[in-house]
Amino acid sequence: MFNFVLPFIVLILVVVFIHEYGHYYFAKKYGVGVTDFSIGFGKEIFGWNDKSGTRWKICWIPLGGYVKFFGDRNVFSQSDQEKIIQKYNEEDRKKLFVLKPLYQRSLIVAAGPIANFILAIVLFSFIYMFVGKDFTPAVINEVHKDSPAEIAGLKKNDVILEIDGVKVKSILDVSKLITLSTSELIDFKVSRYDQEILLKIRPNLVQAEDNLGNKVKKRIIGIQLGAYNNQINHVRLGPAKAVYYSVNEVFFITTSTLKYLGSILTGSGDSSQLGGPIRIAKVTGQVAEFGIVPFLNLMAYISISLGLINLFPIPLLDGGHLMFYGFEKILGRPLSQKTQEGFFRIGMFLILSLMFFATFNDLKDFGLF
């Protein structure tokens, strides 16, 4: 159990710190007072005050964090400005988040998720520069009899070029693209005797185990892959190319996640694969046993997920506050405090429901339901 907990805490500390530091950096840049910078929730384990009066602290529940601004009751959103102005002298008013221009407040809020995307790009770039990126073309070595691949017309020695319109740059991309596809039919483009052929394959959904031994539902088409001409092409990239491919990877993961969530909302996706903190902790511990590179890869994926989820237009999340600022821009004034509180109640219900559902899936994964 300790093998799971320690890597999970390290991962969460790094990802949450970067997220909150994004908020903190732009708050300080625009002169907003910061009273608390907390990693975790609940009772403080330890902390210290810096010379500007900010309390930096680590708390007992390592499932998030927050940056608290000077005089800000609702952290980011406040409509009753007149009462606030009367409480503070002119010097203190300069430190109030709520009195900053709309674009500054928006940047401070958006900076947290943006920092998570930047962290992922940095991690992927580090891996591509110092470990390398695989560019081995994917060749089909075997097509299983009566499989979806054989029925669709895939043949031995076909070179897979694209899956669902996404270029296959490496043999490692094939399984990932099949798994992340949300379509009933997966589009394959293959090269056969120097001709490009388009095929549609209906995958089988089977109960299986992933590489870590966890139970998952897999989309299977029935092929075995090999390296083109039996040559592995693993390349260490220069900084520019590493950043380029890292940005592409972050974009791909983001769009794939949105498609997956969209498929769940429309009823066509498999919601059983949604996981919460328990599953993340388990997978983090398993991945950490394989070494630092898989662990950094997982950290990048979690960082992208945290950044993306926080951009959803749900009150209590960064995206909810950005939604309020959108209304403020359109209306020329903030939403009333009563309206904001109504939205916050809806947001709280949605977040608690999602947490309950994800935790239920986690416990099912452990065989407790």
Say what percent of the chain tops pLDDT 90.
Answer: 40
pLDDT at 76 over 50: no
Strand (E) or helix (H) holding 198? strand 195-201
> Which residues in 281-314 are b (16+ Cβ under 10 Å) and which e?
bbbbbbbbeeeeebbbbbbbbbbbbbbbbbbbeb
pLDDT at 2 over 70: no
Mean pLDDT, the chain, as a whole number? 83
**For the whole prediction, is pTM greater than 0.95?**
no
pLDDT at site 128: 95
Helical axes 337-365 vs 318-331, angle rounded to 10°:
150
pLDDT at site 366: 46
pLDDT at 73 over 70: no
If one compares 178 and 263, the residue with the highest pLDDT of the two is: 178
Gap between the Cα atoms of 233 and 245, Å rounded? 16
Report residue 195: phi and psi, to 5°: -110, 140
Nearest to residue 294, comparing CAs of 175, 115, 131? 131
pLDDT at site 258: 85
Q: What single-letter amino acid sits at 28?
A: K
pLDDT at 234 over 50: yes
pLDDT at site 369: 44
Could you read off the pLDDT of 283-332 as tens digits, one per residue?
555 666 668 888 898 899 889 988 998 999 888 889 988 998 998 899 88
Q: Are 14 and 298 in contact (CB under 8 A)?
A: no
Say what percent of the chain tops pLDDT 70.
Answer: 82
Report residue 147: phi and psi, to 5°: -80, 165
pLDDT at 232 over 90: no
How deeply is 39 buried, as exposed, middle or buried, from its count of CB atoms within 10 A (0-12, 13-18, 19+)? buried
The whole-number average pLDDT for the span 166-179 is 87
- Does residue 44 sit in helix, strand or coil? strand
If one compares 327 and 267, the residue with the highest pLDDT of the two is: 327
Could you read off the pLDDT of 181-214 as tens digits, one per residue?
878 899 999 999 889 999 999 998 887 665 555 5
Q: Are 70 and 51 in contact (CB under 8 A)?
A: no
β partners of residue 58: 39, 46
Task: Please name the residue that has the structure tokens 């498929």.
Answer: 263
DSSP state of 195: E
- Does residue 73 sit in helix, strand or coil? coil
pLDDT at site 208: 64
β partners of residue 37: 56, 67
DSSP per-residue codes, 297-354: HHHHHHHHHHHHHHTSS-TTSHHHHHHHHHHHHHHSSPPPHHHHHHHHHHHHHHHHHH
* C-alpha 81, offset from chain centre: 34
β partners of residue 41: 61
Report residue 158: phi and psi, to 5°: -65, 140
End-to-end, the C-alpha distance of the chain in Å comes to 20
Least confident of 59-73, 148-162, 281-295: 281-295
β partners of residue 198: 189
pLDDT at site 282: 54
pLDDT at 151 over 90: yes
| Residues 6+ positions from 83 with CB-CB distance below 8 Å | none
User: 358: pLDDT confidence band, cut at 50, 70 and 90?
Assistant: low
The whole-number average pLDDT for the span 101-108 is 94
Task: Please name the residue that has the structure tokens 């089977």.
Answer: 206
- Does residue 37 sit in helix, strand or coil? strand
pLDDT at 18 over 90: yes
pLDDT at 132 over 70: yes
pLDDT at site 75: 42
| Residues 6+ positions from 101 with CB-CB distance below 8 Å | none
- Residues noted as catalytic: 20
pLDDT at 356 over 90: no
Query: Regarding the domain with residue range 133-235, which homologous superfamily does it belong to in the CATH classification?
Result: PDZ domain (2.30.42.10)
CA distances from 368 to 214, 355, 363, 365 (A): 15, 17, 5, 8
The whole-number average pLDDT for the span 116-132 is 95
Domains of the chain by residue range: 2-128+303-365, 133-235
Q: Are 204 and 220 in contact (CB under 8 A)?
A: yes
Gap between the Cα atoms of 125 and 15, Å rounded? 17
If one compares 360 and 196, the residue with the highest pLDDT of the two is: 196
